[in-house]
């Protein structure tokens, strides 16, 4: 997979979710993608994640993490 450390990405993702819950707000897709990918996050991958999550219903943090990482890996393999 990509060079993203999975445990660090999950910690950042959980922090984003905790902060959004504290503020009584939902976490935005750009914040989620940035939490998972860090510097590798950009508008294109954010749009891909948004499209993938549009009809996803309720999903876990683990599923979000896996999905973002798999889309990122797929995109890297396309170049």
Q: What's the pLDDT tens digit per position in 26-79?
A: 899 999 999 999 989 999 999 999 998 887 888 899 999 999 999 999 999 997
Residues in the chain: 79
pLDDT at residue 1, rounded to an integer: 46
Tell me the longest C-alpha to C-alpha distance in the chain.
Answer: 39
pLDDT at residue 79, rounded to an integer: 76
Query: What is the rounded average pLDDT for all residues in the chain?
Result: 91
pTM of the model: 0.86
CA distances to 24, 51, 55, 57, 60 from 37, rounded to whole Å, are 24, 17, 22, 22, 17
Percentage of the chain beyond pLDDT 90 is: 77
Tell the residue number behind the tokens 């996050």, with chain if given. 41
């Amino acid at each position: 997979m990509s060079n993203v450390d999975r445990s660090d990405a999950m910690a950042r993702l959980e922090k984003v979710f905790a902060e959004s819950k504290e503020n009584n707000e939902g976490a935005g897709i750009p914040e989620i993608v940035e939490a998972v990918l860090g510097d590798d996050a950009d508008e294109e991958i954010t749009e891909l994640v948004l499209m993938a999550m549009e009809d996803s219903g309720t999903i876990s943090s683990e599923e979000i993490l896996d999905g973002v990482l798999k889309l990122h890996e797929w995109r890297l393999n396309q170049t």
